Amino acid sequence: MGSFAGSDDVFRSRFNRVLAVIIWAIDLFVLVTSLVVGEPAETAGGLLLFTMFTAGLVYALLWRPSVAVNDDCVTLVNVTRTIVIPWAALIDVDTRFALSLRTPRTSYSAWAAPAPGRSGLAMARRAERRHGPNARTPTVAGRSRPGDLITTESGEAAYLVRERWNSLVESGAVEPGLADSTPVTIRWHWFQDAALVILAIATAIAVGWL
């Protein structure tokens, strides 16, 4: 479902990454095939631009997003921006529609950790019935919420965040009462987004859509 790596604990969707590799492989196959059969230069150029655009879009949507935690903060790498939330600013963790981290001013959702759909929920519930409730899954009135199931992407990422948060709070590393005055840092992916827009326009021109 996800993976943990590096000096920080990092969650990434395995499903999204596998899907990204499949799409990239299809793109490469189509591009190479067009070159082998000798497509006209104009057609090949348009296909190359389209391949570059789809490759970049897949990177932004499926490959890059992640949730990372360390002793200082939670970092959500989403499609168009990266959000750095210090532990002191965090007041709640929710998984209703996706992993969502709430601060006094607003809530930030993790693109990498959506809550399960019907099929995903059904699979997670079957696994829960087969192996019994997972001790790491929080429960409300004796029943776990769908997005908190540890076998789902939102649940696995939420566990990662909650475990580190609780550990830091219990050790006294997070000072209470500072949420209102602790800023959240947002970094927009300007270069990536600009490159995708340029490639989209260039592709549209090359194939005659503009």
Residue 89, SS3 per DSSP: helix
Which pLDDT belongs to residue 38?
A: 67
Amino acid at 50: F
Query: Across residues 36-62, what is the average pLDDT?
Result: 85
pLDDT band at 3 (very low <50, low <70, confident <90, very high): very low
Which pLDDT belongs to residue 141?
A: 41
Torsion from C-alpha of 100, 166, 183, 79, nearest 10 degrees: -30
Q: Which of 15-19, 136-140, 164-168 has the lowest mean pLDDT?
A: 136-140
Question: With 50 as the cut, is the pLDDT of residue 205 above it?
Answer: yes
Question: With 50 as the cut, is the pLDDT of residue 6 above it?
Answer: no
Taking each continuous run of H as one helix and of E as one strand, the counts in the chain are 5, 10
Separation between Cα atoms, residue 85 and residue 135, nearest integer Å: 27
Which pLDDT belongs to residue 125?
A: 52
Which pLDDT belongs to residue 4?
A: 43
Report percent pLDDT > 70 for the chain: 79
Q: What would the pLDDT profile of 102-161 be if each residue is shown by its tens digit?
A: 999 999 999 999 987 655 455 545 555 554 454 445 544 445 566 778 778 998 999 999
User: Regarding predicted confidence, which is higher, 147 or 84?
Assistant: 84
